[in-house]
C-alpha cells in the first residue's frame, strides 16, 4: 500500500485526494463521503467533514439504504468542510464530463456465404 492508498483510508486523506483531483469541487465532499459509507441521501459538507453523518441540509433525494440515486450530491465543494450556506435545499447534480451514451450507426450486414470463420453464441 503506497502513501496515496494509505491516505485514502482516512477521512482526511480521502478529502485531500478529492480536493487534489478536483472531485470535491464538482461532486462535493458530502456526497462522496455518503457514497463511500453507504449513507442514505446527502449530508451537509460540514457534517461529512466531521464524519458525523448527520442528516443533510442540502436536498436529500435518497430512496433507500446505501443508495444515491442519480449520483446525488453537490455541497458546493467547500474545501473547508463548510456547507453551502443558508441551508437552502436545491437539486443535487453531477456534471457529466462526456456526452450521453449513444450508439454509433450500425454496420451494414450482408447474408453470409461460405464457411464461417467464427460463431457468435450466447455469452
Backbone angles phi, psi at 72, to 5 degrees: -60, 155
CA distance 43 to 58: 7
Residues 84-123 close enough to bind other proteins by CB under 8 A: 100-123
C-alpha cell at 117: 470463420
Query: Between 69 and 85, whose beta carbon lies closer to other proteins?
Result: 69
C-alpha torsion sign, points 49, 55, 60, 66: positive
Does 3 contact other proteins by CB under 8 A? no
Residues 9-28 close enough to bind other proteins by CB under 8 A: 9, 14, 17-18, 21-23, 26-27
Applying CB under 8 A, the residues found at the interface with other proteins are: 4-5, 8-9, 14, 17-18, 21-23, 26-27, 31-32, 35-38, 64-71, 100-123
Amino acid at each position: 500500500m503506497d502513501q496515496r492508498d494509505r491516505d485514502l483510508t482516512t477521512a482526511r486523506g480521502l478529502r485531500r485526494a478529492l480536493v487534489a483531483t478536483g472531485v470535491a469541487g464538482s461532486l462535493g465532499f458530502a456526497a462522496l463521503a455518503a457514497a463511500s459509507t453507504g449513507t442514505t441521501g446527502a449530508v451537509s459538507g460540514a457534517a461529512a467533514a466531521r464524519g458525523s453523518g448527520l442528516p443533510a441540509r442540502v436536498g436529500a433525494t435518497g430512496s433507500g439504504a446505501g443508495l444515491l440515486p442519480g449520483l446525488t450530491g453537490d455541497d458546493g465543494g467547500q474545501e473547508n468542510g463548510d456547507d453551502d450556506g443558508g441551508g437552502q435545499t436545491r437539486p443535487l447534480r453531477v456534471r457529466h464530463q462526456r456526452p450521453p451514451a449513444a450508439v454509433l450507426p450500425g454496420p451494414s450486414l450482408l447474408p453470409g456465404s461460405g464457411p464461417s470463420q467464427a460463431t457468435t453464441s450466447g455469452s
